[in-house]
Amino acid sequence: MTLERPSWVDFRAVKQAVSLEAVLRHYQIPGLRRRGDGLQGPCPIHRGERSDSFRVHLSRNVFHCFACQAQGNVLDFVAALEQCSIREAALRLQQCFGVAAPADPVGLSAADGERGKRQLVRKKEGYNAPLRFALTGVQHAHAYLARRGIDTATAAEFGVGFYAGPGLLRGRIVIPIRNAGGQIVAYAGRALDGALPRYKLPAGFRKAWELFNLPRAVATGSQTVILVEGYFDCMRVHQAGFPWVAALMGSSLSEMQQSILVCHFEQVVLMLDGDAAGRAANQAIAARLSGQCSLCVIRVPDGAQPDQLPDSAIRRLLPAPDEIAFATAPIPHNRL
């Protein structure tokens, strides 16, 4: 039956009034199991065979699928499930759950529908396709890695090493980048001799859609994640005994990375570089995550970055998750 639809929709009101848990009950989604403050089970969007790829964080009202990379809020879920625009999803929820329609189109226009469609297209396009190959002959024991403090065991675990084979990354240190489902979506190639660019990445790859080392961090079962800037920062923190670490591959946090973080973790420890850019990024990211998760900012020594610190110094800065004092509001540049 087709319901009569109101002319306008208040996206914010719908998101605040309708929970993902209620929507999942409405659609009678099967196979979901409780996991702490969330739900876990097979993905109802792509209907894959994996029984644990779909995760819902109930208190934050967000979801993420490791397999198909669908993620977002309650509007994104309905839009993906129903294959409709964000606006259409909001209208359906507004009617089904009795959310009052706005009395007048304040801040809204006919263009909202088109923006919603474009947002949905971006959501669908917002993933890096898995590679159909894997580099072979990668040498995990290499002098450059030793100089950066990466031991052979860590290099082998991350698949990092010198590549002498053919192609774009020949003669560079290659670093596989995996999506949330553990599939390789790109290789970063680090120059050894000061050549530019310092890092080579494949054309079309979007760093903003991934968090480096996310699958390992999630697999630890920790509700805390340590967030650093670079690949080598991540490997050194992991090597120091903190496997619940992920890297931004830069100093900014994208909307997609933010959604992934708050879906999978309850606490975020920011451990960005000790330069001016890192200090500013700590503040900006803490402000964005405020109210969505608990936060702690670790002050790396001035002018340093985590991969330049000895393991003992990293351990002094990073106590166990249950020993860290977290805050839920933006915090200054000091360790709490």
Sign (positive/negative) of CA torsion 303, 306, 308, 313?
positive
Is there a single domain that holds both residue 198 and residue 213?
Answer: no
Is there a single domain that holds both residue 284 and residue 315?
Answer: yes
**306 within a domain of the structure (yes/no):** yes
Closest by CA to 5, choosing from 92, 66, 77, 67, is 92
pLDDT band at 194, cuts 50/70/90? confident
Two structure tokens written together for 166: 């053919």
Q: How many domains does the chain have?
A: 3
**280 within a domain of the structure (yes/no):** yes
**328 within a domain of the structure (yes/no):** no
Residue 278 has a pLDDT of: 95
Residue with tokens 């226009």: 109
Q: Tens digit of pLDDT for each residue in 135-162?
A: 999 999 999 999 999 999 999 999 999 9
Is there a single domain that holds both residue 192 and residue 230?
Answer: no
Number of alpha carbons in the 13 Å side-chain half-sphere of residue 126? 24
**18 within a domain of the structure (yes/no):** yes
Which CATH number characterizes residue 94's domain? 3.90.580.10
Average pLDDT over residues 182-199: 93
**86 within a domain of the structure (yes/no):** yes
Is there a single domain that holds both residue 219 and residue 265?
Answer: yes
pLDDT band at 101, cuts 50/70/90? low
Q: Tens digit of pLDDT for each residue in 219-260?
A: 898 989 999 999 999 999 999 999 999 999 999 999 889 988
Is there a single domain that holds both residue 102 and residue 160?
Answer: no
**166 within a domain of the structure (yes/no):** yes
Residue with tokens 């050549």: 195
Is there a single domain that holds both residue 237 and residue 267?
Answer: yes
**112 within a domain of the structure (yes/no):** yes
Is there a single domain that holds both residue 217 and residue 196?
Answer: no
Which residue range forms the structural domain that includes residue 63? 11-125
173, 205, 237 — which closes off a domain? 205
**5 within a domain of the structure (yes/no):** no
125, 158, 181 — which closes off a domain? 125
Query: What is the three-state SS of 144-179?
Result: HHHHCCCCHHHHHHHCCEEECCCCCCCCEEEEEEEC
Which CATH number characterizes residue 265's domain? 3.40.1360.10
Q: Is residue 103 pLDDT above 70, yes or no?
A: no
Sequence-distant (≥ 6) Cβ neighbours of residue 104 within 8 angstroms: 8
Is there a single domain that holds both residue 106 and residue 151?
Answer: no
Is there a single domain that holds both residue 235 and residue 270?
Answer: yes
H/E stretch holding 34: strand 33-35
Is there a single domain that holds both residue 217 and residue 316?
Answer: yes
Q: How many other C-beta atoms lie within 10 A of the C-beta of residue 33?
A: 10
Is there a single domain that holds both residue 228 and residue 196?
Answer: no
125, 158, 180 — which closes off a domain? 125
